[in-house]
Chains A and B, each alone.
Chain A
Amino acid sequence: MAKLWVVIKREYLERVRTKWFIIATIFGPLFFGSIMIVPGYISARTVRDSKIGNLRILDATGTGLGARVAAKMAVSKQAIGSSTQVITLSSAALTEAESTATIAVMQKKDQGYLVLDSTTLTRLTARYAGSNASAFGETQAVENAVRQALLQTRLEQAGLDAQRVDSLTKVKVNMSVEKIDEKGRGGSGMASALFGFAIAFLLYFSIIFYGQNIMSGVLDEKTSRVSEVVLSSVGPDTLLAGKILGVGAVGLTQQIAWIGSTALVWKFRAVVMAKLGVPMPAFTLPPISIGMLCLLVAYFVLGFLLYASLFAAVGAISGDQQEARQAAAPVTMMLVAAMVFAQPVMFAPTSTLAKVVSLIPVTAPVIMPLRMSATQVPALEIALSLAGVALACAAAIWASARIYRVGLLMTGKRMSIANMLLILKLGRS
């Protein structure tokens, strides 16, 4: 046990001392944090920055709609500092007025013009032409103004008092959006799906990243021949266990750091977003029970052990990095397959496909946590899936230890499959 600890300590300390670990641990949460905040910030900035310049309104409706639009525009945030010129005219004069307005835009006197004609009130259409026609935020603001003005006009035409209409339509609503799913409550359906997907991705990423880290560690020891010195002090099983546990601890450390600081960012996101002037999205994290958390950890630990021992065996049978990359392809493919199924499972967590891939041991560590956050999975299915992963894990450790013992001292060419089968059968070459 003392020697196992010495091996674990070396594997752990040598990795957490590296620059990439420190950089990834610090910048990981910044990255996740920016994913949460930056898109909102950018879109808010885009809306705020889209100022409408001088606008000409050609009103041929004969109802004073143009003046109403202008009034709405005047109180719109985007139009502050701009001037709106309303030209009331007859339908016949419209064509000529449009030509004049076009020239004004071309000469950059105006930014654009809005045409309200006889069809505006009846068919609810309006036309806008301007140098900013492709700016979504700006045309959106004009459209909003037209819509509000139209609404007012139509209500008046329906017999409502103008002042009353004005006060009634000046309503601002802040609506929080909540969806009800089959679990009855809690967060939006999209939020739990995204959360589940994030968990699945984190598991996938950690398993593949640290699994390959173990593989290159084994390969390094093998090619540098240091394994022989170490094996004269500890058995290969202890060395393998120490490596997997040490690297696993590194992965766990990083995840704790990431999750911890992401939680901090999450907690203070309101403050940060308010400072940046970004509206808070109506997004709440689905509640996680202790039981759920334990299951997530169990899937991560078992999944990591399963893949780490497979990757270690790949390192042991390979002669150099290139060979190892090739030999690792089947192992990596199993994990990639899990991610390929992630999306269909996310959208249909109760489908047969979702049930099957969450029971297959090689995909379960990624898929089952995803399913569990998306829907209520029957306890029996979870138990079956966990048992399957545990069994596969034990088999992988057993087989890898056998291959590792022999492969570590092998030099030169990659181990053949026939040779590997022989080693698995006999426990030696």
Chain B
Amino acid sequence: MTALALDIRGISKRYAEHTAVRSLSLAVPTGAVYGLLGPNGAGKTTSIRMILNIIAPDTGTVTLLGRPNTDPGILDHIGYLPEERGLYKKMQVHRVLRFLAELKGVDAKEADRRIHQWMERFDLTTAGKDWGVAKLEELSRGMQQKVQFIGTLIHDPDLVILDEPFSGLDPINAQALKDTVVELKKRGKTVIFSTHLMDNAERLCDSVCIIARGEKVLDGTVSGVKAEHGGNNVALAVGAGGTEVLAKLLADHTMIEKVDDSNRFFEIRLQAGADPQALLRTIIAAGVPVQRFELVQPSLHQIFLEKVGATGVEPGMSGHG
């Protein structure tokens, strides 16, 4: 096994009207959970399609598990869940899954065995009902998502690429997805997923890369990125009342550089050299009922907003998960 599961060097993709990805380089270590973060339209899906050789980059190279992504058979080791999901609606669930497994080089008999296991695990085959013989269009949306997810993993890939995997998932499936990602990591598999939901990324990823407007903005391990952007950050939570007084205090730019106001929770970035203790004293003196006052590293969300900037984010696109 090579040290890098994915090694991208300087890939670019230009379309007639715009550049989707500009000279992007990435290195994802084997066994890592890697987040590709960026607002919608940043070039995440185009990058993923180039990784999977669905579209060819204009320049640059992609190496998957130590082999060029154009190598015959290399894609058999990759699992892919696209952002826009869909399968053959008129086909029986079992046949769709066997088709996907056979496309990845799994023989029909082995595929059937694995399908049975996965279907049981995701409650699609129970004592009373076998959804395997049902047509896909007869399944609920949640069940279809499960089937698509099984299709991504049925060939036991070494590298799993999930494009916006959490979008549209109900809480139960979202939890199942998280559990599976963790389990894949434990089994030494590499998982790359794109998202614009920073909370998920912060909790799941070992390393991240933020891209905007087709370019890499920063990358590194989550702890490294945070340490690099660490400064005087304070997490503040308050009880009911006193919000008006607090608003005035937080508007003081001599001490405070920036505030992310979530009504009862505030993420505050202090000016360089400002004393957090002084801020705490002032807030208490003003009679604000403080529930939490903690010196913290900036959240990925904060770093994202700071780096990508308001112009790189479409309204409502960068919100918390």
Residues of A contacting B99 with CB < 8 Å? 6, 10
Residue pair A234, B84 in contact (C-beta under 8 Å):
no
Task: Looking at the assembled complex, report how far the CB atom of A247 sits from the nearest CB atom of chain B, in whole angstroms.
Answer: 15
Kindly identify, within residues 191 to 235 of chain A, every residue whose CB is under 8 Å from any CB belonging to chain B. Answer: 220-221, 223-226, 228-234
**A234 contacts B82, CB within 8 Å?**
no
Q: Flag whether A14 is at the interface (Cβ < 8 A).
A: yes
Chain A: number of interface residues, binned into ranges: 20 to 34
Q: Is B89 engaged at the interface, CB distance under 8 Å to the other chain?
A: yes
Is B264 an interface residue when CB atoms closer than 8 A count as contact? no
> CB-CB < 8 A to A419: which residues of B?
16
A231 contacts which chain B residues (CB < 8 A)?
52, 54
| CB of B15 to closest CB in A, whole Å | 6
In this complex, the member of B76, B82, B86 whose beta carbon has the largest number of chain A beta carbons within 10 angstroms is B86
A48 adjacent to chain B (CB < 8 Å):
no
The answer to whether B54 touches A229, judged by C-beta atoms less than 8 angstroms apart, is no
Give every chain A residue within 8 A of B202 (Cβ-Cβ).
Answer: none
Are B82 and A230 closer than 8 Å at their CB atoms?
A: no
* Complex contacts, B84 vs chain A, CB 8 Å: 225, 228, 411
Within 8 A of A (CB), among B222-245: none
B102 at the interface (CB under 8 A from A): yes
Contact A2 B105 (CB under 8 A): yes
In the complex, the chain B residue whose C-beta lies closest to that of A18 is B90
Q: Could you tell me the distance between the alpha carbons of A256 and B264 in the complex, rounded to whole angstroms?
A: 75
Q: A232-B75, A233-B76, A429-B16 are in contact. Are A225 and B103 (CB under 8 A)?
A: no
Among B16, B82, B89, the residue within 8 A (CB) of A229 is B82
Q: List the A side residues contacting B95 at CB < 8 Å.
A: 10, 14
Is A224's CB under 8 angstroms from B89's CB? yes
The residues of A that contact B91 with a CB separation of less than 8 Å are 14
Given that A6-B99, A6-B102 are contacting pairs, would A229 and B15 also be in contact in the complex, using a CB cutoff of 8 Å? no
> With A225-B82, A228-B54, A422-B16 as given contacts, are A233 and B103 in contact (CB-CB < 8 Å)?
yes
**At the interface, is chain A mostly helix, strand, loop or mixed?**
helix
B75 touches A225 (CB 8 A): no
CB-CB nearest in chain A for B99: A10
Q: Of residues 80 to 117 in B, which have CB atoms within 8 Å of A's CB atoms? A: 80, 82, 84-91, 95, 99-100, 102-105
Q: Which residues of B contact A220 (CB under 8 A)?
A: 88
CB distance from A382 to the nearest CB of B (A): 40
Per the bound structure, the CA–CA distance linking A221 and B103 in Å amounts to: 16
In the complex, the answer to whether A233 meets B90 with C-beta atoms within 8 Å is no
Is the beta-carbon distance between B86 and A234 smaller than 8 angstroms? no
Min CB gap A219→B, angstroms: 13
The smallest C-beta distance from B82 to any residue of chain A, in angstroms, reads: 4
- Given the complex, which residues of A lie within 8 Å of B16, measured CB to CB? 419, 422, 429
Closest approach, in angstroms, between the C-beta of B21 and any C-beta of chain A?
14
Q: Which residues of A contact B49 (CB under 8 A)?
A: 228, 409
Contact status A228-B82, CB under 8 Å: yes
B87 adjacent to A232 (CB under 8 Å)? no
Identify the interface centre among A231, A411, A419: most chain B CB within 10 Å of its CB: A231
For the complex formed, measure the closest distance between the CB of A396 and the CB atoms of chain B, giving whole angstroms.
23
Known: A6-B99, A6-B103. A224 touches B88 (CB 8 A): yes
Q: Give the complex CA separation of A231 and B89 in angstroms.
A: 17
Residues of A within 8 A of B78 (CB): 232
Q: How far is the CA of A221 from the CA of B91 in the complex (A)?
A: 12
List the B side residues contacting A108 at CB < 8 Å: none
Alpha-carbon distance A429/B90, docked complex (angstroms): 31
Most B-side CB within 10 Å, residue of A10, A226, A419: A226
A234 touching B103, Cβ below 8 Å: yes
Q: Within the assembled complex, what's the spacing in Å between the Cα atoms of A225 and B90?
A: 14
Residues B103 and A230 in contact, CB atoms below 8 Å apart: yes
In the complex, chain A residues whose CB is within 8 Å of the CB of B15: 429
Q: How far is the CA of A419 from the CA of B17 in the complex (A)?
A: 11
A232 with B54: CB separation less than 8 A: yes
Interface string of B54-87 (1 = CB under 8 A from A): 1110000000000000000001101010101111
A218: min CB distance to chain B, Å? 13
- The docked-state distance in angstroms from the alpha carbon of A152 to that of B24 is 106
The reply to whether the CB of A179 lies closer than 8 angstroms to some CB of chain B is no
Q: Tell me, yes or no, whether A45 is within 8 Å of chain B by CB.
A: no
Q: Counting CB contacts under 8 A, is B43 at the interface?
A: no
Residues of chain B within 8 A of A127, CB atoms compared: none
Q: A229-B100, A229-B151, A233-B75 are in contact. Are A14 and B54 (CB under 8 A)?
A: no
In the complex, A422→B14 CA distance in Å?
Answer: 14
Contact with A along B28-68 (1 / 0, CB 8 A): 00000000000000000000010010111000000000000
Q: Does A3 have its Cβ within 8 Å of any Cβ on chain B? A: yes
Please give 18 more A-B residue pairs, beta carbons under 8 A apart, in addition to A224-B89, A226-B88. A6-B99, A6-B102, A6-B103, A10-B95, A221-B88, A223-B86, A224-B86, A225-B82, A225-B86, A228-B84, A229-B100, A229-B151, A232-B75, A233-B76, A233-B103, A233-B104, A411-B84, A428-B56
A contact residues vs B (CB 8 Å cutoff):
2-3, 6-7, 10, 14, 220-221, 223-226, 228-234, 409, 411, 419, 422, 428-429
What are 18 inter-chain pairs, A to B, with CB distance below 8 A? A6-B102, A6-B103, A10-B99, A14-B88, A14-B90, A14-B91, A224-B88, A225-B82, A225-B84, A225-B86, A228-B80, A228-B84, A229-B80, A232-B82, A233-B75, A233-B100, A234-B103, A411-B84
